[in-house]
Amino acid sequence: MKNQFEICQGGLVQSDSAAANILVYAAPGVAEKEELLKILQFDAHDLESALDPDEISRVEFNPEGIFIIWKRPNRASFEEMLKFEVSSVGVFLQPDRMTVIVNEDAPLFTAGKEFRDVTSLNNMLLRFLLHTTRHYLDHLKVIKQLTGELERKLSLSMENRYLLQMFGLSESLIYYLSALESNAVVLKRLRANANRIGFSEEEQETMDDIIIEHDQCRKQTEIYSSILSGLMDARGNVVNNNMNVLLKNLTLINVVFLPLNLIASIGGMSEFSAMMKGMDWRISYSLFMLAMAVLGWITWAFLVRKIERGNGKARAARELQPQFAGGRTSIGLCVDRGDCGPQR
């Protein structure tokens, strides 16, 4: 899709006339690619680089103009997972024309304050770079809100769905940080060649403001990424703890019903009643209960002895530990002093 714009009275307006000096190719088709290659004399490698979402940001100075590969955030996708991705934008700045190529059909020049009072193509380039940086900041605000909402849901959840969504946000922040790092290199090169490009003093000041705002955005992304990835294990433990609490409650319910099931099972043993029909039921059931109590006591005593034996071994190991590991032995002292060499 091809859109044409021109600078009119300090603003950017869409135009179909020959005076349009800002061309935007969004997800160009075969005919539009042919126009870029043949009519506008675009390099085939530069065209493929502009449409490659994995291309690294860079700036090239040619006799015809300046070619920039710039990373911009895509529209957020919430279909399956919370995911934010980046894509490449190719900007070819010439003295009389500015050509922008993007691989998705999305509006680049919105009605924001960044595109007000545009005076030249150089100024338009700087406004576009500033708009992209602020686009990153807007997405970071959304990511922070989503992270807080997911944390509240994770505190009560026993599923991995919200945890996977948080993994998606963490991955998105890594992509953002990588894109901002490569964009920072482009901004430094543009600032170093400001006179060669033809930036005025006011445009150089705008360039400095963009670099400062871009650096703040990069640091904020780095902080969000480190916090999100650093606490990921803790959030996973919260989900496991919720599951353990649920299992504990279910175990307590089972323990409550075990004596009731035992009594109902004993009372419903028709085979036992048939075997003891010649004996008084009070005596037979009393003997049966006594046998069960003795068997339970033997099992309990066996388990207690096993536990005490294990605790005794652990206690003996702790008593021996200061003598060989934590005590002030000759080995420990020489290590502290640093003179563990051969003794003569």
Looking at residue 339, what is its pLDDT?
Answer: 46
The reported pLDDT for the residue numbered 140 is 92
Q: What pLDDT does residue 12 have?
A: 75
pLDDT for position 272: 64
CA distance 5 to 324: 81
First-to-last C-alpha distance (Å) of the chain: 87
Question: The tokens of 180 are what?
Answer: 């901002």
Rounded Cα gap, residues 167 and 228, in angstroms: 9
> At 317, is the secondary structure helix, strand, or coil?
helix
Top-level class of domain 2-230: alpha beta
Determine the Cα–Cα distance for residues 259 and 269; give it in Å rounded to an integer: 16
Are 70 and 197 in contact by the 8 Å Cβ rule? The answer is no
Q: What local confidence, expressed as pLDDT, does residue 333 receive?
A: 36
- pLDDT for position 10: 67
Q: What's the confidence (pLDDT) of residue 111?
A: 58
What does the domain layout of the chain look like in residue ranges? 2-230, 282-344
pLDDT tens digits in sequence order for the chain, 344 residues long: 788 888 777 677 777 777 788 888 888 888 888 888 887 778 888 888 888 888 899 999 888 889 999 999 987 766 656 778 899 999 998 888 888 988 887 777 765 666 777 888 888 899 899 999 999 999 999 988 888 888 787 777 667 777 778 888 888 899 999 999 999 999 999 999 988 888 889 989 999 999 999 999 999 999 998 888 777 666 666 667 777 777 777 776 776 667 667 766 766 666 666 667 777 777 877 887 787 778 777 877 776 787 788 777 767 766 655 444 444 444 343 434 444 444 43
Per-residue confidence (pLDDT) for residue 340, from 0 to 100: 45
Q: Give residue for tokens 């900041």.
A: 137
Tokens of 116: 């007000």
Q: What's the token pair of residue 294?
A: 């003795």
Give yes or no for a contact between 58 and 69, defined as CB atoms under 8 angstroms apart: yes
